[in-house]
Structure formats: structure tokens, C-alpha cells
Amino acid sequence: MMIDVLSDQKRKIHPHKFTLWVAIGSILMMFAGLTSAFIVKRSQANWLMLEIPVIFWYSTAAILFSSVAIQLSLKALKQRNMLGYRRWLVITAVLGIIFLVLQIIGFIQFGDQEIKLIGAGSNASYSFLLAISGLHGLHVLGGVITLIVIAIRAVSISNRNYSSVPLEIAATYWHFVDALWIYLFIFFNWMK
């Protein structure tokens, strides 16, 4: 009887994990709609071909390495290696910030090339790039804030909770925004 109860508990998904998967589904639908609209609008006569600045390759590398870092943080936490857990968690957050900074620099480079992203004289192709990348950037920012909150809790003397659930949820979300960026990066490079 007790074994059956434990077995049932192991099969149930944590409510926060379930909520995350619902949110991920919603975010996926939003980005699918935006990229579909991009494809439809591409047939306009005044559409310009996208030239993605090289710095976006560096931001892609930063977010890929951040996924490795958060996985190492989760592994360290499960092994009760608190120093490694904290170190890799901070590295993940720093790489997330680097990703965002590189993205901003990339969009500044558009301005340096006198490409208007919004407003009068702008082109829909670059406006779409800004809107889609900007929305992705907001999701990464949300992930960075979450990682910072988890890191603060990890170094708190009063907190001795070794539950991996918060980090598992953050890691799932982080891998999702990573995979989403890879999709968007490939999409923008192929949809020239």
C-alpha cells in the first residue's frame, strides 16, 4: 500500500512544472505566429533582405554556453556540491546578461548602418526582427531575474533548502529560451 502511494507521487508532475509547460506552449504559439507573419509579409514589394550583424553569432554562443552552465549547476546541486551549484548558477546568469548586451549592441549596429528599425523610413523586415528578438530578449531577461533570485537564495545563510525543483524549473525554462533563440537565429539567417 505504501509503495503504491510513493509510486503515484513519483509519477505526478509538480504543479509549478506543469504551469511552466503550459506557459512554454503559449510562448511557442506566440513565436510561431510571429514567424508565420514574417513569412507572409516577406512577399511585400518593399521587403528588404535581412543582414544579421556578426555579433549575433557571439550572442548565440553565449546563450548556448549558458545552457551548459545551468545544467552543470543543477548537477552540482543534486550532488550537494553547493559551491559548484552557486558558481555555475552565477555563470549562467552572467552569460544571460552577456547575451542581452550583445543583442543590444547588434541592434545599435543597425542604427550605425542607418537602418531604421521602427517609425518613418523603417522597413517591415527589420521591424519584425526587432519585435521578435525583443520579445525573446524579454523572456531571457525574465530568466536572468529568476536566476538572480535563486542565486540570492542559494547564498542566504538562513536558507538550507536543498530542493532542486526551483532550479529544475529554471533550467527547463532556460533551455527553452536557448532553443527558441537557436530557432529564431536559424530562421532569420535562412529567411533573407
Give the pLDDT of residue 46: 78
pLDDT of residue 158: 63
Contact (CB, 8 A) for 30 and 135: yes
The domain 2-190 belongs to what CATH superfamily? Cytochrome c oxidase, subunit III, four-helix bundle (1.20.120.80)
Q: Give the sign of the dihedral formed by CA 18, CA 23, CA 26, CA 30.
A: negative
Cβ neighbours around 162 below 10 Å, total? 10
Q: Do 36 and 189 form a contact (C-beta atoms < 8 A)?
A: no
What local confidence, expressed as pLDDT, does residue 183 receive?
A: 95
189's grid cell? 539567417
Q: What per-residue confidence (pLDDT) applies to 112?
A: 80
Query: What's the pTM?
Result: 0.85
Report pLDDT for 190.
85
Nearest 5 degrees, angle CA 179-CA 181-CA 187? 105
Dihedral sign of CA atoms 151, 70, 28, 17 in order = negative
pLDDT tens, N- to C-terminus, the chain (192 residues):
555 555 555 667 778 788 888 999 999 999 999 999 998 988 887 787 778 889 999 999 999 999 999 999 999 999 989 899 999 999 999 999 999 999 999 989 887 877 777 777 777 888 888 899 999 999 999 999 999 998 888 777 665 666 788 899 999 999 999 999 999 999 988 876
- Whole-angstrom distance, CA of residue 89 vs CA of residue 113: 37
Q: Long-range contacts: 108-115, Cβ < 8 Å, 24+? A: 109/53, 109/55, 110/53
Chain mean position to CA 172: 10
Domain ranges in the chain? Answer: 2-190
The size of the chain, in residues, is 192
Alpha carbons 128 and 180: distance in angstroms, whole number: 16
pLDDT for 192 equals 61
For residue 119, the 8-state DSSP code is S
